[in-house]
Amino acid sequence: MSKTLKIAVIAGDGIGTEVMPWGIKCLEAAAKVYNLSLSFTSFDFASCAYYKQHGQMLPDDWKDQLSGFDALYFGAVGLPDVVPDHVSLWGSLLQFRREFDQYINLRPCRLMPGVRCPLAGRKPGDIDFWIVRENTEGEYSSIGGKMFPGTEREVVIQETVMTRTGVDRVLKYAFDLAQSRPKKHLTSATKSNGISITMPYWDERVAEMAKGYGEVKVDKFHIDILTAHFVQRPQHFDVVVGSNLFGDILSDLGPACTGTIGIAPSGNINPTGKFPSLFEPVHGSAPDIMGRGIANPVGMIWAGQMMLEHFGYKDAADAMLRAIESVLAKGDDVVITGDMGGKGDTKSFGEAIEREILGSK
Ligand code: NAI
Ligand code: MG
């Protein structure tokens, strides 16, 4: 391994700053065992503390400061009692996603051992799929407007934007991912029976893209019945791809079907490598428990694992995932955190996973 993976560390607010050290320790452990070269550079911006000092979430030259990194390893941002959420989120995380053209939002939906599944009768191995969400256009456009506000004639319009470039690039990513997996199965989320222009277009692009992936089995469901299938037959899925809105809904529903928010990770990815990709836990800054050292560090550590997997460090990534699974499977009461029913803290949980990684080879 010669290339150094350059990682910008942005811990942010609240429990982001508490779980981040364990994410880094676990990545360093994986780097040590699997002989990877990782470099970490920390930044204090994209936090409410920075905002209080500077009146903005990011320095003016943030893009220059971060562009040269391969990845951003991000904790969580937001302290609503200090800075309104729309200011803190739009002023930081959403800038990264947008300006760095992170057009893929990727989330695993995997039932881990030791996690109580909210769906009855499911065991680890039964649920193991990925949700690929389009992250830049679709229903989340700012095209539209309001006329005659406050009157009887009030009218509001907001447009869905789908471009061939935007749709094709997310489909390509999802098809590639499906192709790389044993089941080679892609499911597309649609609603072409109700949304009569953009969704038939989406379906058309799926059919076109499928022609280049003969081995991938493709199916599609309307979003309404698809949400029911997530709950009733989650074992059906392998890779699920959706537009920005459908992907948003599915990427909360999927992980919710596999347990606690404390363990879920996500990637905001620019697959071209032109700009850095961002890896973060799904949870926020959890002001209700911050400062007590009791936050579950698994989401942060798993996000680091996704980062290694994204950059192709398969052995190290596999070892990290196995370490997380093994510590969860043991479910040791004094190790795991309160959100999972244990009496442990961030340190005991993080340390156990770190130790497992160090002993993995
Ligand atoms: P949250 O995810 O911070 O917390 C929701 C609930 O889950 C809380 O009861 C919290 O204690 C618990 N929880 C979350 N992560 C946990 C962990 N690792 N271990 C144990 N318990 C955990 O969501 P909430 O409360 O809606 O938002 C709080 C702040 O975080 C807001 O400012 C919000 O805007 C921000 N936020 C930021 C995100 C990001 O940076 N990507 C994502 C979601 C929210
Ligand atoms: Mg969401």
Span from the CA of 287 to the centroid of ligand 1 (angstroms): 7
Is residue 74, in this structure, part of any structural domain at all? yes
Same domain for 233 and 269, yes or no, is no
Could you say which of 257, 273, 293 is where a domain stops? 257
Radius of gyration of the chain (CA): 21
- Among protein residues, the one with the nearest Cα to ligand 1's atom 26 is 284
* Dist. CA 338 → ligand 2 center (Å): 24
Which of 208, 227, 257 finishes a domain? 257
Cα 90 to Cα 271: distance, rounded to the nearest angstrom: 23
ipTM for this prediction: 0.98
CB of 18 shorter than 6 A to ligand 1: no
Residue-averaged pLDDT of the chain = 96
Tell whether 120 is covered by a domain: no
Is residue 123 assigned to a domain? no
Question: Does ligand 1 have an atom closer than 6 angstroms to the CB of 78?
Answer: yes
Predicted model pTM = 0.95
Query: Is residue 65 located within the same domain as residue 160?
Result: no
pLDDT at 183: 98
Q: Which ligand is nearest to the CA of 282?
A: 1
- Concatenating the DSSP letter of every residue in 262-282 gives GG-EEEEE-TTSSS-EEEEES
Q: Are 156 and 200 contained in the same domain?
A: yes
Q: Which residues contact 107 (CB under 8 A, 6 or more apart)?
A: 130, 131, 133, 251, 254, 255, 264, 265, 266, 267, 282
Same domain, 355 and 235: no
Give residue 1's pLDDT band: very low, low, confident or very high (50, 70, 90).
very low
Q: Are residues 153 and 39 in the same domain?
A: no
Closest by CA to 267, choosing from 79, 70, 115, is 70
The per-residue pLDDT for range 215-228, each reduced to its tens digit, is 999 999 999 999 99
Pocket test for ligand 1, best of 261, 339, 347, 348 (most atoms within 8 A of CB): 261
In terms of residue numbers, what domain contains 1? 1-110+261-361
C-beta of residue 45 within 8 angstroms of C-beta of residue 58: yes
Return the ligand 1 atom nearest residue 79 CA: 32
Q: Is residue 37 part of a domain?
A: yes
In a domain, 116, yes or no: no
Domain count of the chain? Answer: 2
Q: Same domain for 74 and 184?
A: no
Q: Helices marked H in the chain — which ranges?
A: 16-34, 48-54, 62-67, 85-90, 93-99, 164-179, 198-210, 223-232, 244-256, 298-310, 314-330, 346-358
Q: How many CA atoms, within 13 angstroms, populate the side-chain half-sphere of residue 333?
A: 0
Extract the tokens encoding 355: 């130790």
Q: What is the pLDDT of residues 86-115, one digit of tens each?
A: 999 999 999 999 999 999 999 999 999 999
The Cα–Cα gap between 331 and 26 comes to: 19
User: pLDDT of 180-216, one tens digit each?
Assistant: 999 999 999 999 999 999 999 999 999 999 999 999 9
Do residues 141 and 224 share a domain?
Answer: yes
- 164 and 249 within one domain: yes
CA–centroid distance for 250 within its chain: 12
Residue 122 lies in a domain: no
Q: Cα of 300 to ligand 1 centre, how many Å?
A: 12
Is 117 part of a structural domain of the chain? no
The tokens for 278 are 């961002």
Name the pairing type of β-strands 128-134 and 104-110.
Answer: antiparallel
Cα gap 112→299, rounded to integer Å = 12
> Does the pLDDT at position 50 exceed 70?
yes
Residues facing 108 on adjacent strands: 130
The DSSP-derived string for 190-234 is E-TTTSTTHHHHHHHHHHHHHTT-TT-EEEEEEHHHHHHHHHH-G
201 with 250, same domain?
A: yes
Query: Do 7 and 103 lie in a common domain?
Result: yes
What is residue 2's predicted lDDT score, i.e. its pLDDT?
56
Task: Please report, rounded to a whole number, the percentage of residues in the chain having pLDDT higher than 70.
Answer: 99
Q: How far is the CA of 242 from the centre of ligand 2 (A)?
A: 13
Angstrom distance (rounded) from CA 161 to CA 139: 6
Domain boundary among 257, 274, 302: 257
Closest CA to 177 of 108, 236, 130: 130
* Confidence at residue 132, expressed as pLDDT on a 0 to 100 scale: 98
Residue 322 contacts residue 334 (beta carbons within 8 Å): no
Query: What's residue 261's pLDDT?
Result: 86
**Is residue 322's pLDDT more than 80?**
yes
Is there a contact between 15 and 295 (Cβ–Cβ < 8 Å)? yes
* pLDDT in the model for residue 259: 81
Element (H, E) at 8: strand 4-12
Note whether residue 118 is domain-resident. Answer: no
The pLDDT tens digits for 56-96 are 999 999 999 999 999 999 999 999 999 999 999 999 999 99
Q: Is the shortest distance between the CB of 261 and ligand 1 below 6 Å?
A: yes
Query: Do 231 and 272 belong to one domain?
Result: no
- Whether 302 and 314 map to the same domain: the answer is yes
Q: What CATH code is carried by the domain that includes residue 195?
A: 3.40.718.10
Distance CA 135, CA 169 (A): 11
